[in-house]
Structure 1
Amino acid sequence: MAMFVHLASAANTPRIRRSGIRAVSRGQGDLRGVYCFPVLPSYTLTHQWLRELARFGSRGGLMAVHVRLDDDQPVLVGRYGDRARNAQSTVPAAEAVRRIAALDDPRGWEVFVPRAIRPREVHRIRTVPQVAGWRYVPDAHGVRPCTCFGCRVRGEYGGRRLRERRPHPLDGPPPRSGTLLARVAAAGDPGDPAVLREALHWFGRYRRGPLAQLTRLAAHPDPGVRADLVRAVAGWSTPGVAELLDGLADDPHPDVREAVEAVRETQ
């Protein structure tokens, strides 16, 4: 059987022991599943993704979940950037291990299991030092970091000073809250999904916001709008956010429920 490591938040380990690893990550072709990496002789390479994943937050640090899969289990394997180009290959789990182990430099490679991991497939869960691996991309040390909104992580250590020192020329401040609310109102009722989703994208960059004026979007017929509402208000300190997320946690559409789950796992 092939052995892999999945890095998970320490707060989720009781659930993983009880129920396995849920298929909440999105892979190539919008598949749902679990990311992992083969166990290699090199400890550093095996846990290379740890520092990069830690940038996005984890409750109690990250834990190494060792997973045993049948050699014939189909998985996707390739570099991180191959995912966007649909260039990752579907191979048996044993072949994915062989292919990565044969590389001169396997940094940045990943394995995607297109399903949930069953409890019996979890071999063991152990602590791991939180300093292993690279950040941003392999060999990023000495390279100027990108400060655009898509690359930066809210609350990251030294992030504010970095943005002040190296402001991104194409990523200016978001529109004022009143301007965004005017766009939401002009979108109509229930509202044009494209207009609403763009406004919610900008609202997601605020730390507080007009929750009362946006709550009606929780009943919007487009699940994309409801999921974007979850992501927009998740980081707000405005009273009432928790109650709104509680209501959307039981949304009839799986994308909305999974958005709530993803948000709560990083809080």
Structure 2
Amino acid sequence: MAMFVHLTSAANAQRIRRSGIRAASRGQGSVRGVYCFPVLPSYTLTHQWLRELARFGSRGGLVAVHVRLDDDQHVLVGRYTDRTRDAQSTVPAAEAVRRIAALDDPRGWEVFVPRAIRPREVHRIRTAPQAVGWRYWPDAHGVRPCTCFGCRVRGEYGARRLRERLPHPLDGPPPPAEVLLARVAAAGDPGDPAMLREALHWFGMRRRGPLAQLTRLAAHPDLGVRKDLVWAVARWSTPGVADLLDGLADDLHPDVREAVEAFRESQ
């Protein structure tokens, strides 16, 4: 029998004891199943995913669920970066343990069981220290973190202080709304497209904004301004956004209409 560890929120412990582990994750090829890692002699390597998973929140911390699988149970094995390239290999569970144990550096490797884990396969559930393993990627320690809009995680612990300490030249933190509105006013009427698009870039990083002062830009003669207006306000929770998007959905230019359609399809 091959032994693996699955890390999950402590709030799931009672349900797992009763019903096993649900196939709630998606692996290579969008197959549903359960991620886990072999139990190795090194405690740190066995629980290497703990800090990375903790970044995304857990109720009561994380616990380690030890799972016993038949040696001939087929699983997917590979590095986490292999999922997107469909490069993970399908092998028996015993072979997955052998492959990972033989690696000089197994950090970032994972095993995916393409089904739910049955209650009888759960060997034990125990608490685990919450400060073991790597974050972001295995060799991230000592590397300056990226604070761009695509890399940062909203609501992550310390994220605001990190953005203030290491501001990204293009992605913030954004200037206050009053400063941005002053730039919009300084752009003139109908307004310099370059100045307006820069202001809309920063407005797009906010969760709410002064919609009434920007509505006039829906009739701006520059195509780029109207498209940027769509992406700047589309995710705002400010009342009136839906009405503004309805108007932009009837824009004369197809690029603006497609921008509205693309946002709505992504929701």
Whether these two folds match at TM > 0.5 is yes
Q: What TM-score do the two structures reach when normalised by structure 2?
A: 0.68
Structure 2 unpaired stretches of 5+? 172-200, 212-232, 235-240, 251-256
- State the distance in 2 between where 1:23 and 1:82 align: 20
**Which deviations, in whole Å up to 9, do the C-alpha atoms of 1:118-165 show, x marking residues without a partner?**
111111000011011011111211101122344323332321111122
Larger Rg: 2
Counterpart mapping for 1:160-239 below 5 A: 160-171=160-171, 173=202, 175=204, 178=211, 179-180=233-234, 181=241, 182-183=244-245, 186-187=248-249, 195=260, 198=263, 228=267
Does the C-alpha gap of structure 1 residues 185 and 3 become closer, same or farther in structure 2, counting only changes over 3 Å?
Answer: farther
Who is 2:27 aligned against?
27
- State the distance in 2 between where 1:153 and 1:92 align: 36
Q: Return the offset for 1:187.
A: 4.5
Q: Return the offset for 1:194.
A: 7.6
Who is 1:99 aligned against?
99
Does the C-alpha gap of structure 1 residues 30 and 195 become closer, same or farther in structure 2, counting only changes over 3 Å?
Answer: farther
Who is 2:12 aligned against?
12
- State the distance in 2 between where 1:66 and 1:194 align: 47
**Which deviations, in whole Å up to 9, do the C-alpha atoms of 1:65-99 show, x marking residues without a partner?**
00111111111111111111111111111110000
| AA of the residue aligned to 1:56 | F
- State the distance in 2 between where 1:117 and 1:64 align: 14
**Which deviations, in whole Å up to 9, do the C-alpha atoms of 1:181-229 show, x marking residues without a partner?**
22256558xxx99846626xxxxxxxxxxxxxxxxxxxxxxxx76xx4x
| AA of the residue aligned to 1:68 | R
| AA of the residue aligned to 1:103 | L
Asked if 1:68 is matched to 2:130, the reply is no
Does the C-alpha gap of structure 1 residues 41 and 184 become closer, same or farther in structure 2, counting only changes over 3 Å?
Answer: farther
Who is 1:233 aligned against?
none
Asked if 1:129 is matched to 2:132, the reply is no
| 172-181 or 126-135, larger mean C-alpha shift | 172-181
Q: What TM-score do the two structures reach when normalised by structure 1?
A: 0.68
- State the distance in 2 between where 1:51 and 1:143 align: 17
Q: Return the offset for 1:166.
A: 2.2
Identity %: 79
Structure 1 unpaired stretches of 5+? 200-223, 229-267
- State the distance in 1 between where 2:7 and 2:116 align: 14
Q: CA RMSD in A?
A: 2.2
Runs of 4+ in 1 over 4 A off after TM superposition: 184-188
Q: Secondary structure at the match of 2:84?
A: coil
Who is 1:51 aligned against?
51
Say how many residue pairs are matched.
Answer: 199
| AA of the residue aligned to 1:70 | D
Does the C-alpha gap of structure 1 residues 7 and 184 become closer, same or farther in structure 2, counting only changes over 3 Å?
Answer: farther
| AA of the residue aligned to 2:146 | C
Contact 1:184–1:196, Cα closer than 8 Å, also in 2: no
- State the distance in 2 between where 1:174 and 1:154 align: 16
Q: Secondary structure at the match of 2:85?
A: coil
- State the distance in 1 between where 2:95 and 2:66 align: 18
| AA of the residue aligned to 1:93 | A
Who is 1:117 aligned against?
117
Q: Return the offset for 1:64.
A: 0.1
| AA of the residue aligned to 1:123 | H
Q: Secondary structure at the match of 2:77?
A: strand
- State the distance in 1 between where 2:104 and 2:155 align: 35
Q: Secondary structure at the match of 1:66?
A: strand
